[in-house]
A and B are shown apart, each in its own frame.
Chain A
Amino acid sequence: MFSHPDHAEFLPLDQLPVLVEKLMQRGYQCLGPTVENGAIVMRELQSPDGLPRGLQAEQSPGRYQLTRDPHNRYFAWANGPQAIKPQVFAARESLWQVRRDASGTLAFEAVVPDVPPQALIGVRACDLAALALQDAHFLRDGRRDAQYAQRRERLFLVAVQCAEPGATCFCASTGDGPTPTAGYDIALAELADGFVVVAGSEQGATVLQTLKLSPATPQQIDASRQQGLAAAAAQTRSLPGHNLRDVLMNNLEHPRWDEVAARCLACGNCTAVCPTCFCHAEVDEPALTGQSSEHVRQWDSCFGEAHGHLHGFNVRPDIRSRYRQWLTHKLATWHDQYGRSGCVGCGRCIVWCPVGIDLTEEVAALTAEIQP
């Protein structure tokens, strides 16, 4: 974020709604942190001053609890269950539809979503890293996913440095946070009286030009840098910094897989909240008239029984093989696919697991006494 501190500027606290207002004036539907069902999610802001203040979230394995921030900051909360992923890879959407006329002739037509340009305010470094991985998957050379591309191209991202990571966060160890370094249009670091702000794209710079900014002082830049270092140092969980591919793939029959399978409910929560999980099912929904049908994709999970289904055979009939598929894909074979681990250290799989299975703890057990 502050690789070019000479370009950093300062946005006074009371000017944050103006940033939202400018984005709304430019035609963006603005989404920001919103409390829904006791958790912070990204929802449309009804007005420029609609950003909530003073929210925090205590998180631990299997537990998420909103609390108050004594300093009444805008962004003192650590990530909720979802952020960017549902805005680009929709949980459920039509891919194509088909009409059948009286003669039985079929007419197929691709469906491209009609979505407005969206600005997401308050996204975190881990989710920017996850978005880059989703981009690599859905926008692969020569095979761009039309629906994803449509949503992705209309996205404007206002990132925020994490000052108060959750107890389940470990982005510092995966190298993905807590300070945003790439992939944003605008990045903010929240200080007591305002925000150190930098542009990460031409669109971001254009928006910043419409705001009343002053150059950030060296003290402000240093304060934001120290805040990032402190947030990294505050993280108590971690994954090993090296590539886990070989150590995991060489231990596919480790007894720990049985042990974790005895606790795992195979509910799929971890895959639903994971910002990089991309599996989806394709299903067909005929209209009651019998004259048309929709081909729909919806998020799927490798923990579900149908995921490994083949006629007369299930590739992964037991929870052990499903948990192992998830973890080895995320941390090992993702390297083969996209050149890095599929984990960005957001810790959501730990928080939203109903029995509190902790991926960092499982990795530690699986790799204990084993040199990479």
Chain B
Amino acid sequence: MNAPHNIIDTGAPHAATVVARTEESPTIFTLQLRLDNAAAQAAYRFAPGQFNMLYLFGVGEVPISIMSDPEDRNGIGHTIRAVGRVTRGLAALKPGDKVGLRGPFGRGWPLQEVSGCDVLLVTGGLGCAPAVSVIHYVLRRRERFGKLVIIQGVKHAEDLIWREQYDRWAKLPDTQVMVAADEGAAFWPWHVGRVTELFGLASFDPKCAVAMMCGPEGMMHAAADSLLARGLPESRLFLSMERNMQCAVGRCGHCQFGGAFICRDGPVFNWGEVKSLKSHRGF
């Protein structure tokens, strides 16, 4: 749980260049960024689950979780959905364009502590980047982990991005992939119905497993109930939370969740740390 707080700068952003842009869906895109200062780029380290603040000139900043592999020194990947002023502007960027970057911030997934154990990823909604970065992380270090269980729920079949990847992951050994869409579509090979119907089918060893969740609150509560009922210790259940981070360093107050500053103490939390307050709306 103790990802390094290796902040490279607490003040102004670093200038960064878009080195590649990938269209993932009509509203989702991935930006590969590289810090213009070579020494800063070389020194940049992060843990999966941490996030950066990306700045669009004259418009503002948004918190975006880091998508790429921590050992990839060529660039820093961010998968973004165009939903607001800044993200719609970021969507219009091309390779060579400039942005600002502050980070990395927060506490990432507890990947160092789960060697040898099964890894469950439970995600919902459109392109859950914080969890997909864990899938890539595990697959590139396959020998360090046990079974990999991927459970993804979407509202409509067409909402699933990286669909080929799910097909590919499903064919890998020791990997269980289950995808559910509330509404299916032609040639949809996966489950049609609630993702919660799939939790019972997950194959893992509760004595040596870790589960990581992100997505809608209701889905996470249902997943937590199911996994805990099957014997997964609460200490091995984690989630990533999202709030209106503006400063990213525990100062501006917008991301407070009870006494926690999600930007600093999270965004990854152990279920036990947040479950009681999460059952109340408004925090």
Which residues of A approach B to under 8 Å, CB–CB?
Answer: 95-98, 100, 104-110, 137-138, 140, 142-143, 145-146, 249, 252-253, 278-284, 286, 290, 293, 295, 297, 300, 302, 306-312, 315-316, 318, 320-322, 324-325, 328-329, 333-337
The complex places the Cα of A95 from the Cα of B248 at a distance, in Å, of 14
Which residues of chain B from 239 to 259 have any CB-CB distance to chain A below 8 Å in the complex? Answer: 242-244, 246-247, 249-254, 256, 258-259
Residue B84 is within 8 A (CB to CB) of chain A in the complex = yes
The complex places the Cα of A315 from the Cα of B262 at a distance, in Å, of 14
Q: Smallest Cβ distance from B6 to chain A, in angstroms?
A: 12
The complex places the Cα of A306 from the Cα of B246 at a distance, in Å, of 12
Of B97, B259, B277, which contacts A104 at CB under 8 A? Answer: B97
Interface centre among A282, A283, A295, A325 (most CB of B within 10 A): A282
B9-17, B134-142, B199-207: which one contacts chain A?
B9-17
Q: Is the CB of A315 within 8 A of B282?
A: yes
Q: Is the CB of A106 within 8 A of B98?
A: yes
Residue B4 is within 8 A (CB to CB) of chain A in the complex = no
Q: Is the CB of B258 within 8 A of A98?
A: no
Residues of the B chain whose Cβ atoms lie less than 8 Å from the Cβ of A145: 251
The complex places the Cα of A336 from the Cα of B87 at a distance, in Å, of 34
Top 7 nearest A-B pairs (CB, nearest first) are A336-B259, A321-B282, A286-B58, A279-B253, A96-B12, A333-B259, A108-B12
Of A98, A143, A146, A279, which contacts B252 at CB under 8 A? Answer: A279
Q: Mark B1-33, 1 if CB is under 8 A from A, else 0.
A: 000010000111111000000000000000000
Q: Smallest Cβ distance from B99 to chain A, in angstroms?
A: 8
Q: Is the CB of A282 within 8 A of B61?
A: yes
Count the A-B residue pairs with Cβ separation under 8 angstroms: how many? 128
Q: Is the CB of A284 within 8 A of B252?
A: no
- Among residues of A, the one whose C-beta sits closest to the C-beta of B81 is A311
Residues of the B chain whose Cβ atoms lie less than 8 Å from the Cβ of A318: 282
Q: Mark B24-49, 1 if CB is under 8 A from A, else 0.
A: 00000000000010000000000000
Chain B, interface size: which category? 35 or more
- Among residues of B, the one whose C-beta sits closest to the C-beta of A290 is B58
A107-B15, A108-B100, A282-B61 in contact; A309/B253 too (CB < 8 A)?
Answer: no
Q: Is the CB of B10 within 8 A of A143?
A: yes
Q: Is the CB of A282 within 8 A of B247?
A: yes
Of B12, B60, B251, which contacts A283 at CB under 8 A? Answer: B60
Residue B168 is within 8 A (CB to CB) of chain A in the complex = no
Of A107, A309, A328, which contacts B244 at CB under 8 A? Answer: A309
Residues of the A chain whose Cβ atoms lie less than 8 Å from the Cβ of B14: 108
Q: Is the CB of B259 within 8 A of A320?
A: no
Q: Is the CB of A106 within 8 A of B259?
A: no
Q: Is the CB of A108 within 8 A of B259?
A: no
Residues of the B chain whose Cβ atoms lie less than 8 Å from the Cβ of A98: 12-13, 55, 57, 100
- Among residues of B, the one whose C-beta sits closest to the C-beta of A285 is B58
Q: Smallest Cβ distance from A323 to chain B, in angstroms?
A: 10
Which residues of B approach A to under 8 Å, CB–CB?
Answer: 5, 10-15, 36, 55, 57-61, 81, 83-84, 87, 96-100, 242-244, 246-247, 249-254, 256, 258-261, 277, 280-283
Residues of the A chain whose Cβ atoms lie less than 8 Å from the Cβ of B252: 279-282, 297, 300
Q: Is the CB of B98 within 8 A of A310?
A: no
Q: Smallest Cβ distance from B37 to chain A, in angstroms?
A: 11
A96-B12, A282-B247 in contact; A104/B98 too (CB < 8 A)?
Answer: yes
The complex places the Cα of A315 from the Cα of B283 at a distance, in Å, of 6
Of B5, B60, B100, B244, which contacts A106 at CB under 8 A? Answer: B100
Residues of the B chain whose Cβ atoms lie less than 8 Å from the Cβ of A312: 83
Q: Smallest Cβ distance from B89 to chain A, in angstroms?
A: 11
The complex places the Cα of A105 from the Cα of B249 at a distance, in Å, of 26
A95-B11, A107-B15, A109-B12 in contact; A336/B258 too (CB < 8 A)?
Answer: yes
A283-B60, A293-B58, A336-B259 in contact; A137/B11 too (CB < 8 A)?
Answer: no
Residues of the B chain whose Cβ atoms lie less than 8 Å from the Cβ of A110: 11-12
The complex places the Cα of A337 from the Cα of B96 at a distance, in Å, of 42
Residues of the B chain whose Cβ atoms lie less than 8 Å from the Cβ of A293: 57-58
The complex places the Cα of A329 from the Cα of B282 at a distance, in Å, of 12
15 A-B pairs with CB atoms under 8 Å apart are: A96-B11, A98-B57, A100-B98, A108-B13, A108-B14, A145-B251, A280-B246, A284-B61, A286-B58, A300-B254, A308-B243, A318-B282, A325-B256, A336-B258, A337-B259
Residues of the A chain whose Cβ atoms lie less than 8 Å from the Cβ of B280: 252-253
The complex places the Cα of A310 from the Cα of B254 at a distance, in Å, of 10
The complex places the Cα of A281 from the Cα of B81 at a distance, in Å, of 23
Q: Is the CB of A308 within 8 A of B246?
A: no
- Among residues of B, the one whose C-beta sits closest to the C-beta of A101 is B98
The complex places the Cα of A325 from the Cα of B282 at a distance, in Å, of 8
Q: Is the CB of B97 within 8 A of A284?
A: no
A282-B61, A312-B83 in contact; A96/B13 too (CB < 8 A)?
Answer: yes
Q: Is the CB of A316 within 8 A of B282?
A: yes
Residues of the A chain whose Cβ atoms lie less than 8 Å from the Cβ of B259: 333-337
Q: Is the CB of A308 within 8 A of B15?
A: no
With contacts A97-B12, A283-B60, A311-B87 known, what are 12 further pairs, Cβ within 8 A?
Answer: A98-B57, A106-B15, A143-B250, A279-B252, A282-B60, A286-B59, A295-B12, A308-B243, A308-B254, A310-B243, A328-B258, A333-B258
Residues of the B chain whose Cβ atoms lie less than 8 Å from the Cβ of A95: 11-12
Residues of the B chain whose Cβ atoms lie less than 8 Å from the Cβ of A249: 258, 277
Residues of the B chain whose Cβ atoms lie less than 8 Å from the Cβ of A278: 251, 253
Q: Is the CB of A137 within 8 A of B282?
A: no
Residues of the B chain whose Cβ atoms lie less than 8 Å from the Cβ of A290: 58
